[in-house]
Amino acid sequence: MRSYKLLVTLGLVAAAVVGCGDLSVPGGEHVRDDDTAERARRVAAAWEGSETARAWYQGYYLLGDAVQLPDGAFHNDADKRAYAAQNFDLRTPLPDAPKKPGRIRWTDGEALSFPLISARAAYDKLDRGENSGPALTVTGARLGSMTVLTSRGKATVPAWLFTVKGYDTPLKRVAVTPPKPLRSPIGAVQHETDELVPLDGLDTIARDGRTLTVRAKHGACDDGPAVDVLEAEGSVVFSASIRGTSDGPCTSQSLVKKVTVKLRRPLGERILLDAFTGGPVPYEGPYSASPNSR
């Protein structure tokens, strides 16, 4: 196991969030509107050198898709619609899970063992459609591997490789049983206001390591979401808010918009945290959340 480096220098760079209303957190802590930036700093400080951060750096937490599509997907609109609707047609027996655990291997040579799920369990995470539209036909399945982005960088993980009719390469789905979610060292804010709301999740991390896209919630009668960033030595904390709300009548509709942010330096192995929840920003893949969820 690689050594865990205690991160003691915060080096905080923050954009303040201001507004109206009150926020309350467990344990009697009271957060005023003009202290929401301070909330982000407290989240960053709580994670620095914590046992939870140690578990993050030494464990396996997915930060990318649990599914990788075949090369050239999709050939036509019907296949694209089938995948979006989660419609699959199984035409082959599916293997059981191996009795031996699978090995996750990182580029630095470190490795961890995790139980594997069966091909049927992996397939059921793909095939959730319940309509009579077009479907992707699965004609075979075997155990292989795929490369994913994790909390410790890129790793090669066991994966079920599903043969899809019409495609030369398989559709891959992670075969590793996810670990239990981490328990944050700081409690979540109890109530949402326009000045601080939980993020919907992480969408993408660009190759430059500095350009990140997150999904932020807002309503039908506002100017959309805003996301402020605080960069610490061992973490990046996002504070999501809603701009331009009004007191007039409005439909109770929840919308999600992608917001792109630019970091001052590459993310590296820093943890992405949500100021509202106090925990890692969830990554939502096509069909399931990654283990680093709320």
Q: Could you tell me if 31 and 270 are in contact, meaning their C-beta atoms sit under 8 angstroms apart?
A: no
Question: For residue 16, is pLDDT > 80?
Answer: no
Question: For residue 50, is pLDDT > 90?
Answer: yes
Question: For residue 9, is pLDDT > 70?
Answer: no
| Phi (first) and psi of residue 285, to 5 degrees | -80, -170
pLDDT band at 5 (very low <50, low <70, confident <90, very high): very low
Average pLDDT, the chain: 82
- Output the pLDDT for position 244: 75
What are the tens digits of pLDDT across the range 169-202? 999 999 998 888 888 999 899 888 778 989 988 9
Q: What is the pTM of this model?
A: 0.73
CA dihedral 24, 181, 194, 230 (to 10 degrees): 90
Q: Across residues 268-292, what is the average pLDDT?
A: 73
Distant-in-sequence, close-in-space partners of 51: CB < 8 Å, separation ≥ 6: 185
- Output the pLDDT for position 172: 97
Q: What secondary structure letter does DSSP report for 268?
A: T
Distant-in-sequence, close-in-space partners of 15: CB < 8 Å, separation ≥ 6: 37, 228, 229, 230
- Output the pLDDT for position 36: 82
Locus of tokens 């100021």: 275
What is the per-residue DSSP string for 38-100?
Answer: HHHHHHHHHHTT-HHHHHHHHS--B-S-SEEPPTT--SSHHHHHHHHTT-EEE-S--PPPPSS
Q: Could you tell me if 164 and 136 are in contact, meaning their C-beta atoms sit under 8 angstroms apart?
A: yes
CA separation for the pair 109, 126 (Å, rounded): 31
Among 28-37, 47-56, 180-189, the minimum mean pLDDT is found in 28-37
Q: Across residues 43-71, what is the average pLDDT?
A: 92
Question: For residue 26, is pLDDT > 50?
Answer: no
CA separation for the pair 47, 42 (Å, rounded): 9
- Output the pLDDT for position 249: 67
- Strand residue runs (E) in 183-247: 201-205, 211-218, 225-231, 235-242
151/239: higher pLDDT: 239
What are the tens digits of pLDDT across the range 85-108? 999 999 999 999 999 999 999 999
Q: Across residues 132-156, what is the average pLDDT?
A: 93
- Output the pLDDT for position 15: 32
Residue-range domain boundaries for the chain = 22-59+182-274, 67-174
- 184, 180, 164: which is closest to 172 by C-alpha? 164
- Percentage of the chain modeled with pLDDT above 90: 54
CA-angle at 124, arms to 281 and 80, nearest 5°? 80
